Amino acid sequence: MRKDAAARREKLIGVAAALFERDGYDIPLEAVIEAAGLGRGTLYRNFPDRAALMAAVLAHKVMSVERFVEEHQDDATLLKTFVRHQGLVVTLHSPAILSLQADASRKQELKLLTERASVLLETIVVRSCAAGTLRPDVTVNHLRLVTRMLMTTATEPAEEQAASLDMAIDIVMRGLEPRDA
């Protein structure tokens, strides 16, 4: 892909992610085109449908978590910061996650995203155990369950989501942190 075409694609993904987070996934795609300052043809050359754009936004979010984990290699707050970040991401993007999970044609894309997420979760488990901030019996599967649990805050009314997410994170962290002997 040419450099200018790649830049336009990335702009569309970034603008779509911001609009989806602010206004929800039901916004007209015309709003993405307008906010990006690009043409309809550019959007549809890159993303033939809403599902393709949603998948690209989710891949973009996974990449941002990958960068986050890389930047926090020696950070003793990695686990807590990750859980908060992950809670925000899954709350804001649960409509896309659920929609793509229900779309059999997106199975391979979701599999690749899940594999990338598994690598991230394993890294977080290893680093957090080494830092003494995570119980030693916690596994990647536990963090996957945490993600699904936090995702349920998206079902709360919009005005209650932040408080519900804070409460859920507090409960989850108490279960993940090492227990005093």
Give the global pTM.
0.82
Domain 1-48 has CATH 1.10.10: yes
Q: What are phi and psi of 76, to 5 degrees?
A: -70, -10
**How much is the pLDDT for 168?**
93
Q: List, for residues 123-145, the tens digit of each pLDDT value.
A: 999 999 999 999 999 999 999 99
Q: Provide the residue ranges of all domains of the chain, joining segments of one domain with +.
A: 1-48, 50-176
Q: List, for residues 5-30, the tens digit of each pLDDT value.
A: 889 999 999 999 999 988 988 999 99
Domain 50-176 has CATH 1.10.357: yes
Between the alpha carbon of residue 146 and those of residues 18, 89, 95, 98, 139, the distances in Å are: 24, 13, 18, 16, 11
115: Cβ contacts below 8 Å, ≥ 6 apart: none
